[in-house]
Structure 1
Amino acid sequence: MDLRDATWTDVRDCETDLAVVPVGSTEQHGPHAPLGTDVVAAQAVADAGLEQFDRDVVRAPAIPVGVAEEHRQFPGTMWVSEDTFRNYVREAVESLAHHGFDRVVIVNGHGGNVDALREVGGTITRSGEAYAVPFTWFEAVGEHSAEMGHGGPLETALLRHCEPELVRENRIDEASAGGADSWGEWVSYSNLAYDAAEFTENGVVGDPKDGDEQRGAELLELAADALVRLLEAVAERDVSRPEGR
């Protein structure tokens, strides 16, 4: 059930305790991909997983702004602090739990959200309000994960499969030529760069030319399959907290 389209009486009559919350970001993704790439990806993976899952699940509206100050030099990028983001996600999940949807998978599309989401999942779960687990789609696509980048092959491929009209195909060569090979500037296992503009001229990391529609279809299938397995585990898990040792 998609909360955006449901009425309150539909929700009242829905017999499930499972919910999915897509979370993304509004930030630059190079000259060829939209600012909302991470939201599109999170929603697409959430919807594809729910189509395969054989139980009722409530699908919340996507949270579109995340932890993305590292892209602040690129116009259009929006961000909030980690504290604001954690509080917002926590309270959104708690509102779902108030209505009985207290097993929640947070489907994430943005790398900058990962650490904050793991922390907020632990906070929610330990408080007893709900059981919340973050799921980041590009960590769940097997060998492809190593090529994640930013506005690179994976995100471009997924866009070409899910919403191809959003990709500025006439700018792919520009995106490829101005992109960086890898994320950050690493010395002694430490990243010297805090902002993306320090190591990528146009915001791209990786080569979007390597992300065709067929690869996007494979990525969506892999991510959706992984999400289904996670939903099954969350649905069946004993979520009571362990006793003190």
Structure 2
Amino acid sequence: MHLARESWTDADAADTTLAVLPVGSTEQHGPHDPLGTDVLTAEAVAEAGADRYTDPVVVAPAIPVGIAEEHRRFSGTLWTSESTFRDYVRDVVGSLAAHGWDRVVVVNGHGGNIAALKEVTARIVRHDDAYAVPFTWFDEVGEHTSDMGHAGPLETSMLRNTDPETVHDDRLEAAAADGADGWGEWQGRVNLAVDSDEFTDNGVVGDPRESSADLGEELLDRSSEALCDLFDAVRDRDPTSRTD
């Protein structure tokens, strides 16, 4: 059940404690993928997981702006501070819990949100009347995870499967030519780069020419299956239990 598409009376009748909150970012994804890539992919995984799960799951509207200042040099990118982002996520989870949907999986589509989501979900579990965990979809696609990049084959494939009209296929060659092979500029284990424009001319990391709708279908299937497994664990977990 997607809250934004239902009436309050339908929401009131929802017999579940499970909810999913997609979070993403509005940021550059090269010349070929849309600024909303991280939102679209997080929503697609959240909705696919909710649809295939055996019990009802409430799907909250996505949070579209995340921690993305590293892309500030590219037009259209929006960002917020880590503290504002954490507070917003916590407030939304608290709102869901107030209606009885107090087991919340936060489905994330943006790498820059990962650390903040780990911190805020732990704070929710420790201090609020809810149990929340983060789930980053591209960490749950098996051997493909190592190919993540940025606007590379994974994200572009996911979009070519779920939102093909948003991908500019005629720009893939240029995207690959002016992109970077890896994220950052490294000295040993230290990344010297702060912003993405320091190491990629067009914002791309990886080769989006390796993308396909078939790969996107596989990515969606793997990540939504992993999400369903997580729903099982979250539904059955007692967050008040402690081991000695």
Please report the TM-score for the alignment, with normalisation by the length of structure 1: 0.98
The C-alpha deviation readout for 1:38-88, integer Å capped at 9, x for no partner, is 001001111111111000111000000000000000000000000000000
Contact 1:26 1:77 in 2 (8 A): yes
Map of 1:215 onto structure 2: 215
SS of alignment partner, residue 88 of structure 1: helix
Deviation at 1:5, TM superposition (A): 1.1
Map of 1:78 onto structure 2: 78
Deviation at 1:188, TM superposition (A): 2.1
Contact 1:28 1:74 in 2 (8 A): yes
**1:44-59 equivalence runs, <5 A:** 44-59=44-59
Q: Does 1:67 align with 2:67?
A: yes
Percent identity at matched positions? 58
Map of 1:170 onto structure 2: 170
SS of alignment partner, residue 126 of structure 1: helix
Structure 1, unmatched stretches of 5+, are none
Separation in 2 of the partners of 1:101 and 1:59? 10
Map of 1:242 onto structure 2: 242
Letter in 1 for 2:110: H
Deviation at 1:241, TM superposition (A): 4.8
Separation in 2 of the partners of 1:143 and 1:187? 27
Aligned length: 244
**1:88-99 equivalence runs, <5 A:** 88-99=88-99
Letter in 2 for 1:224: S
SS of alignment partner, residue 28 of structure 1: coil
Structure 2, unmatched stretches of 5+, are none
Map of 1:121 onto structure 2: 121
Map of 2:161 onto structure 1: 161
Supply the RMSD in Å over aligned alpha carbons: 0.9
Separation in 1 of the partners of 2:129 and 2:186? 40
Letter in 1 for 2:99: H
Please report the TM-score for the alignment, with normalisation by the length of structure 2: 0.98
In structure 2, relative to structure 1, the CA distance for the partners of 1:241 and 1:194 (3 Å cut) is farther
Q: Any runs of at least 4 consecutive aligned residues in structure 1 with deviations exceeding 2 A, and if so which?
A: none
Letter in 1 for 2:196: A
Q: Does 1:24 align with 2:24?
A: yes
SS of alignment partner, residue 173 of structure 1: helix
The C-alpha deviation readout for 1:94-115, integer Å capped at 9, x for no partner, is 0111111110000000000000
